[in-house]
Amino acid sequence: MKSNLLALNFFISGFLFAQQIDVVDFKRAAVSVSFQPEMKKVLGEVDYTLEILKSTDSIFLDAVSMEFSQVMLNGNSVDFRNDSKKLWIKHKFKKGKTYDLSFKYKAQPKKALYFIDWEYPDGNKQIWTQGQGKYTSNWLPSIDDMNDKIEFDLSIIFNKNYEVIANGKLIDKQINHSTIIWHYDMQKPMASYLMALAIGRYDKQIEYSESGVPLEMYYYPKDSLKFEPTYRYTKQMFDFMEGEIGVPYPWQNYKQIPVKDFLYAGMENTSATIFSDAFVVNDTAFVDKNYVNVNAHELAHQWFGDLVTETSGTHHWLQEGFATYYALLAEREVFGDNYYYWRLYEYLQELDVQDKSGGSTALLNPKSSSTTFYKKGAWVLHLLREQVGVEAFREAVKYYLNKNAFKNVQTEDFISEVEQVSKQDLSKFVKLWLENKDLNYNLMLESLKQSVFIQEYLMVDCELYTSKCAAYLNSGISDEAKVKIIEQIPNQITSDNFKSPIKVRQAIATSISTIPERLKQDYESLLQDESYVTIEAALMTLWRNFPQKRNNYLNQTKGIVGFHDKNVRMLWLTLALITENFEPENKSEYFKELTNYTSPKYSFDIRQNAFMYLKQIKACNAQCKDNLKQGAKHHNWQFSKFSKSMLEAINSN
């Protein structure tokens, strides 16, 4: 009976103190963790220092499906309850007092910490975290509420043959017989969702910013030749960001780590961005798909999101809108004004599509889409900077960050600083752009028309002026305008247009479906372009248009792999299999290679490509289906959804 009453007491306390930030402030956590990768288990010890703000009889830590032992308060055993969601500590806590809470725990997380490839002898074995939202509590007892910021110091015990990276500065490596204990120190507090670690086989290069911040850039040893194009412009953007924001980078160093099968493009963990290894590129891939924007976006978050953090989803644009906007400013520094206005134009078109589908919401609506938070948020900052002026905007941002450093913020905190510096009443601006769900497309377009580049692009209208548009293709107008013309009137393309830069030739490759004989030789030249998008499109279109030359085209592109997802190689293998007289003696090997790419030892983007091509040629055999079943259980929900859908489609036929 007593235990039932205790459980009820804990339940009532949990109900009353679902938000406990006004009751207790967790100050510091000394964390020591080790792993059993084959079992997907975490073993840890944690020592929390906390201050009681209001007297209470219980406090909690968020802890999902964990086992606890040796739970101690100030060195003495303490009553606790573990309900698989929270660790409840029962004690008469006194206001104003500081306590030390320590314990050991075991966890087998189903999310937030991922064990990659440990079941495959030749796999790319990794462990990495993704805690955004409130998921860190799946592998580390912590606080899901982002309003409680904690200084985390992390020690990780692991096999000495692997690199271990985490938040903060590496202050010591204790080398043992078979393991190393890596000690990482954080000097400032952060929200628990920004806790991070990554373990794998990596090399790294270090550059230093103009202000002396170490920029640690990790890569797989096999990708040494891809290091430069992957991390291109990193130092330039870092230096620009510090100068533009006006507040020194707030952490001890900045690390970037690519991982296999990441859930998103990248994640701005404090001082340690983790990103998808799909962005590890060579020089050719850089033209079409590179890491520059993600790099800049996650870097901007180190100030907007990590240094100052939203109080709730209502103010999510203070993180994503700012990171999107400052990434765009950094890219403007690298690629120029035309690029800046072009990207704003693209954002506007995306927002317009959302608006026309009935999906527009206010920027301060916590249920808004990512498109709204990211793209509209960036647009609002562009418009605000226009209204108050560049210098006032910069000064306000600087005051806003310094005033709220290591704290949580709301929209009013930012707007009030802008009003104070600019001496402007922004109530109408807030109502029009933050509280109003309408897009105000025409007002945004008028802002873009400050750019002559955008004016020129908007003037192109091939539906009304077909003959004039054709003439424009050989003029000095922008590549973007030429691409627009090609997409509207592909039948007007001439041999001279093939002398254009890569992006225009790419548009030709992707816009023409039927190749006129007069352009055959010109179109064939696209197979030599330094663009995997162009090569893929050209190979497919040439193969369809000229059956008599299929063997020639396949021989010409035989060794090309393409992007991380092997886009050119996958197409090549598929065409090699279905081209009747092409290397019949090798078809079984080509089929084996294509099928093997569905294996879990490959990244999900590679597997997805292979699955799609095998489905198209109706060749998904038992091995393919088994790998689809495995894919349906994958931790990446998008790939899991794709695998389930394809499996259902194949089984229904």
Instruction: Please count the CA atoms within 13 angstroms of the CA of 373 that sit on its side-chain side.
Output: 17
Task: Inform me whether the pLDDT recorded for 3 exceeds 70.
Answer: no
Q: At what angle do helices 337-356 and 441-448 cross, to 10 degrees?
A: 170
Q: Which of 263, 289, 285, 287 is nearest to 276 (CA)?
A: 263
45 three-class SS: strand
- Residue 292 to residue 410: CA distance in whole angstroms: 29
The pLDDT of residue 102 is 98
- Residue 219 to residue 259: CA distance in whole angstroms: 9
- Residue 130 to residue 111: CA distance in whole angstroms: 8
The pLDDT of residue 8 is 39
Instruction: State residue 63 phi and psi, 5-degree precision.
Output: -155, 110
Range in 148-162, 385-399, 474-488 the model is least confident about: 474-488
Q: Which of 101, 3, 4 is nearest to 52 (CA)?
A: 101
Burial of 651 (0-12, 13-18, 19+ CB in 10 A): exposed
**Contacts of 475 by beta carbon, 8 Å cutoff, 6+ apart:** none
Give the confidence band of 431 by pLDDT, cuts at 50, 70, 90. Answer: very high
Task: Inform me whether the pLDDT recorded for 127 exceeds 70.
Answer: yes
Instruction: Please count the CA atoms within 13 angstroms of the CA of 563 that sit on its side-chain side.
Output: 22
- Residue 493 to residue 508: CA distance in whole angstroms: 8
Mean pLDDT, residues 365-381:
97
**Contacts of 422 by beta carbon, 8 Å cutoff, 6+ apart:** 388, 389, 392, 393, 396
The pLDDT of residue 15 is 39
Share of the chain above pLDDT 90, in %: 92
pLDDT digits (tens, 9 = 90+) for 594-612: 999 999 999 999 999 999 9
What is this structure's pTM?
Answer: 0.94
What is 308-454's CATH number, 2.40.290.10, 2.40.50.100, 1.10.390.10, 1.10.3210.10? 1.10.390.10
- Residue 647 to residue 620: CA distance in whole angstroms: 10
The pLDDT of residue 19 is 62
- Residue 334 to residue 108: CA distance in whole angstroms: 44
Instruction: Please count the CA atoms within 13 angstroms of the CA of 578 that sit on its side-chain side.
Output: 16
Task: Inform me whether the pLDDT recorded for 14 exceeds 50.
Answer: no
Burial of 610 (0-12, 13-18, 19+ CB in 10 A): buried
pLDDT digits (tens, 9 = 90+) for 505-535: 999 999 999 999 999 999 999 999 999 999 9
CATH 1.10.390.10 in the chain: give the residue spans.
Answer: 308-454
Give the confidence band of 219 by pLDDT, cuts at 50, 70, 90. Answer: very high
Q: Beta partners for 218? A: 204
The pLDDT of residue 134 is 87
Mean pLDDT, residues 94-114:
97
Per DSSP bridges, beta strands 272-276 and 254-259 are parallel
Residue 74: how many CB atoms within 10 A of its CB? Answer: 12
* Cα-based angle 590, 594, 597 (whole degrees, multiple of 5): 140
pLDDT digits (tens, 9 = 90+) for 71-80: 999 999 999 9
pLDDT digits (tens, 9 = 90+) for 551-606: 999 999 999 999 999 999 999 999 999 999 999 999 999 999 999 999 999 999 99
* Domain 488-652 of CATH type 1.10.3210: no
Burial of 195 (0-12, 13-18, 19+ CB in 10 A): buried
Q: Which of 650, 588, 641, 593 is nearest to 616 (CA)?
A: 650
Contact 88, 58 (CB under 8 A): yes
CATH 1.25.10 in the chain: give the residue spans.
Answer: 488-652
Instruction: Characterize 459-468 residue by residue with b for buried, 16 or more Cβ atoms within 10 angstroms of its Cβ, and e for exposed.
Output: ebebeeeeee
